[in-house]
Amino acid sequence: MQSEHCDPEAGAERASLIEMRRIVKTYKTPAGTFEALKGVDVALDHGEFVSVVGRSGSGKSTLANMLTGIDHPTSGEVRIGDTYVHRLSESQMARWRGTNLGIVFQFYQLLPMLSLLENTMLPMDLAGLYNPSQRLERAMALLDRVGLSQVAHKMPSEVSGGQQQSAAIARALANDPPLIVADEPTGNLDSRAADTVFGIFEELSHQGRTILMVTHDSSLAKRASRTILLADGEVVDQTVARTLPLLTHQQMLKVTKHAQRVEFAPGETIIRQGEPTGAFYMIAVGHADVLIHRPRGEEIPVAQLGPGQHFGEVELLQGRASAVASIRATPRARLGVLALARHVFSELIEESAALRQHLWQTMQERLAQNLEAQRGRKRGPYAAAQVA
């Protein structure tokens, strides 16, 4: 990427293509100030396809606008490659955007007096890239890539909404940018056209482009390599969202704020059977073994839990003073968990009848499997170990 306002350590290797640090965005309205983003931290790696989801007003489009330079943070930093884009002037941003960033809008934003071919050539004309014959050849190749070569000379009003959005994607690719930002690109399309447009993004991601897509369509969002969930201008921890999808977004945010991130060494015991325990655990990375200990010291493996699964709910729901089984990090890798204190867990199941019902069912199934393991020494996965 071309660099303006570079960091002094620009030559050093960076872990992420994009870093948004402590982003706050405050708007002044007649009713007072409104904080659209509240200290958001987001990182995207090279070649990632990330979807951004959340309720209306959660801050999705504001987050995208921080990357495109359409808006600027009230405080915080936005780095893309070696460029701190929030420090660029309007003219600097226009130059940088022309060669580094492709933007796809919900309402296409094609110029109505230009054909699809001319719309696709326009970014190359404005940036002064490629000679005229190369621009024409490249634009046709891009339109062919998105399935529009047969309608390249038609005006936007003469084609469908899905075709207009595909043309907008071709235009976004005109100057071969490494980053594509799409704000509700399928919002005005039927399901078939939306699937076609999303397929184009998937192909671009497989070819190494980094894509951030704001969407309200949860089914499409799940097809991205990673999802960022926003609630009230804050990011919900992805482990919380994955493990406890029955919660509302506001409840997920509450868990995110209260949960403590803890790491355990390979083979380290987290919960020991017969000893006190007082937390609910959600697995972020790694795996944990569930073990039952017999009176003679024999250890019986019951199950293995992985990312997106949880443990500790049996003791908390039954009000037990001691654990019914041991939980140990597997010997081959570290275990990363989010731990939720007993009092917060209790508040949560009081607030969410759906979660309470699910966890009670899970508890019964796990106790039954523990008993089966004690009797028959059989090992198997916990039924319904993950909230679904």
Q: Are residues 360 and 328 in the same domain?
A: yes
Q: Are residues 265 and 174 in the same domain?
A: no
Q: Are residues 131 and 278 in the same domain?
A: no
Q: What is the pLDDT of residues 222-258, one digit of tens each?
A: 889 999 999 999 999 999 999 999 999 999 999 999 9
- Nearest residue to 181 (alpha-carbon basis) of 172, 189, 190: 172
| Domain extent at residue 146 | 18-236
Q: Beta 299-305 vs 335-341: how paired, if at all?
A: unpaired
CA distance 343 to 137: 65
CA distance 285 to 338: 10
Q: Are residues 34 and 159 in the same domain?
A: yes
Q: Are residues 102 and 192 in the same domain?
A: yes
Q: Are residues 228 and 140 in the same domain?
A: yes
Contact partners, residue 272, CB within 8 Å, separation at least 6: 323, 326
User: Is 50 exceeded by the pLDDT of residue 197?
Assistant: yes
| Total domains, the chain | 2
CA angle centred on 45, ends 42 and 51, rounded to 5°:
60
In 3-state terms, what secondary structure has residue 377?
Answer: coil
CA distance 236 to 279: 20
The pLDDT confidence band at residue 190, using thresholds 50, 70 and 90, is confident
Q: Are residues 219 and 277 in the same domain?
A: no
Q: Are residues 122 and 200 in the same domain?
A: yes
User: Is 70 exceeded by the pLDDT of residue 213?
Assistant: yes
Residue 13 lies in a domain: no
Query: Measured between alpha carbons, how far is residue 297 from residues 83, 324, 330, 376 in Å?
Result: 60, 15, 19, 16
Predicted TM-score (pTM) of the model is: 0.83
- Which DSSP string corresponds to 324-343? SSEEEE-TTS-EEEEEEEHH
Tell me what the mean pLDDT of segment 349-368 comes to. 92
CATH number for position 109? 3.40.50.300
- For the chain, give the percent of residues with pLDDT over 70: 93
Give the chain's mean pLDDT.
88
Phi, psi of 122, deg, nearest 5: -55, -45
9: which 2 tokens?
């350590």
In 3-state terms, what secondary structure has residue 12?
Answer: coil
Q: What is the pLDDT of residues 264-311, one digit of tens each?
A: 999 999 999 988 888 999 999 999 999 988 777 788 889 999 999 999
Q: Are residues 291 and 229 in the same domain?
A: no
User: Is 80 exceeded by the pLDDT of residue 159?
Assistant: yes
Q: Are residues 94 and 155 in the same domain?
A: yes
Q: Beta 234-236 vs 226-231: how paired, if at all?
A: antiparallel
User: Is 60 exceeded by the pLDDT of residue 384?
Assistant: no
What pLDDT sits at residue 10? 43
Q: What is the pLDDT of residues 39-52, one digit of tens each?
A: 999 999 998 999 99
51: which 2 tokens?
């979807």
In 3-state terms, what secondary structure has residue 361?
Answer: helix
CB count within 10 Å of CB 80 equals 23
Residue with tokens 């904080």: 35
- Nearest residue to 197 (alpha-carbon basis) of 167, 172, 155, 227: 167
Cα of 14 vs its chain's centroid, Å: 20
Residue 246 lies in a domain: no
User: Is 70 exceeded by the pLDDT of residue 2?
Assistant: no
Residue 364 lies in a domain: yes
The pLDDT confidence band at residue 15, using thresholds 50, 70 and 90, is low
Domain boundary among 236, 268, 300: 236
Q: Are residues 207 and 268 in the same domain?
A: no
